[in-house]
Amino acid sequence: MVIITHGFDPEDFEKAKVIPKHNDRMILTYSGIFMVYNTPKYFLIAFKKIAQERPDIAKNIELHFVGFLRKENQKLVNKLKLQEFVFDHGYVDHIDAVSKIKSSDVLWMMVGKRKNIDAILPGKIYEYIGAVKPIIACVPEGAAKLAMQEYPVSYICKPDDVKEIKETILKVYEHYKSSNFPTVDEDYLTNFRRDYLTEKLTKEFQFLVKADVR
């Protein structure tokens, strides 16, 4: 059995431009939509606690959402009074989304807890990896957590533990301010390039064809 993962298209990252920053705030971005198995609820509540307990840190962080935030989540942002920290970009085309990922300092993803969720492995993980950015991964036990454990710049916490998420954000901010993020090896990245994965799949087909001819 051969398993070929999702990957990222390096051409997308070549086309996408980095948006210049106008301040030194840490840009923390979520790209994608929120469905039945994921929600920004716990992350937003955790950030609200930071805003209350460490306003000096909160004022130096921007939360960017690229995709479909959903009305109920927009209402939660308003209820928690986080409007000054949240930037909702809505739907954008793919290259623009990659551009916003490249222009971020930290990326965030989450997979919620539900039946059979351990088999869920969002394709966005590999696009995040292609951006070579630190990733906050709020994930349960399962495929997503295993993938993130292999990534050198991942900060893993449980998806519904507000205290742990808050502490993770603070830790990431500390590393951001001190420029203390680990580096990502080029060989590791190659494993998830779509041209490399396509070549790998082609070789498997060639092997099977030759074996069948024999």
Q: What DSSP element (H or E) covers 155?
A: strand 154-157
What number of helices (H) and strands (E) belong to the chain?
10, 6
Q: Provide the β-strand partners of residue 86.
A: 63
Window from 122-131, 166-175, 188-197, 199-208 with minimum mean pLDDT: 199-208
DSSP secondary structure letter of residue 55: H
Domain boundaries, the chain: 10-213
* End-to-end Cα, the chain, rounded Å: 20
pLDDT at site 212: 60
Task: Quickly state the pLDDT bin for 70 (edges 50, 70, 90).
Answer: confident
Q: Is the pLDDT of residue 147 over 60?
A: yes
| pLDDT, mean over the chain | 91
Q: Is the pLDDT of residue 120 over 90?
A: no
Q: Is the pLDDT of residue 17 over 80?
A: yes
Q: Are 111 and 117 in contact (CB under 8 A)?
A: yes
| CATH architecture for residues 10-213 | 3-Layer(aba) Sandwich (3.40)
* Threshold 0.95, pTM exceeds: no
| Distance from the Cα of residue 194 to its chain's centroid | 18
Q: Is the pLDDT of residue 97 over 90?
A: yes
Q: Are 98 and 12 in contact (CB under 8 A)?
A: yes
Give the span between the Cα atoms of 100 and 141, in whole angstroms: 29
Q: Locate 62 and state its tokens.
A: 């921007």
pLDDT at site 118: 85
Give DSSP secondary structure letters for 73-128. Answer: HHHHHHHTT-TTTEEEEES--HHHHHHHHHT-SEEEEE----TTGGG---THHHHH
Q: Residues with Cβ < 8 Å from 138, sequence gap 6 or more?
A: 42, 43, 108, 109, 110, 111, 157, 158, 159, 165
DSSP secondary structure letter of residue 59: T
